Amino acid sequence: MKKILGVLIAGTFLLGACDTERDTPNTGNYGETDTEENENGEVSTGVAETDEVETIEADQDGDSELDDETMAELDQDLEEINWDEVHLTRRQFDTLLYELQDDLTADAEVDEETEIYIESVDFTDDIITITIINEDESEFSDFTTGFFAVFIDSFYRQLYLNSDYSDGTTHPHIIIQESDGDIITDQEDFIEFEE
């Protein structure tokens, strides 16, 4: 189990390193004037058209890259993360949501000991549907599936609550299911354990 937790957190840390290139504007001849004389001998001036300026539109969803502080915070064990220090734009949340799935799948393909991973994630409106695969055929299979589902629900719920999708109290509806469609958890709040 600790290995699964480590893989999840390590995968989260690596997410910010995956997309390090940023679009930067090509300033070229921006602002320079170009003079042109027409057939009547009149001179006109205007912005140079020889180098087009690449504009970057302000995106209300924000940048998809995580800053170093957020990456460092998420690179800890789940119980050690100070969620007050984590704030994600919508794009950062989307990136984490899907890249974590990709990282776990890649790790499972490389490491034969990894038996449980995320097969797919669907995020529509405020509903996150996560399909997991557990290749463990031992008697503990149901236990590991349940534990993994609780961990994934808690982790993604915290990411959502600390993103621009939420006002800090609005929870997502998270459905975690097996690849055959059997529902493991279907929650609109943190999973509470009955004593």
What is the predicted pLDDT for the residue at 18? 36
- The answer to whether 100 and 110 are in contact (CB under 8 A) is no
For the full predicted model, state whether its pTM sits above 0.85: no
| Model pLDDT for residues 12-36, shown as the tens digit of each residue | 333 333 333 333 333 333 334 444 5
Mean pLDDT of the chain: 74
Residue in 156, 165, 163, 159 with CA at minimum distance from that of residue 187: 156
- Three-state DSSP at 38 gives coil
Q: Please, what sign has the CA dihedral across residues 114, 115, 118, 120?
A: positive
Q: Which residue has the tokens 């299979």?
A: 141
Residue 191 pLDDT > 60: yes
In our burial notation (b when 16+ CB lie closer than 10 A, e otherwise), range 24-59 reads: eeeeeeeeeeeeeeeeeeeeeeeebeeeeeeeeeee
Distance separating alpha carbons of residues 170 and 155, to the nearest angstrom? 15
- Element containing residue 37 per DSSP (H, E): strand 33-37
Q: Which amino acid is at 144?
A: T
Domain coordinates in residue numbering, the chain:
2-16+60-187
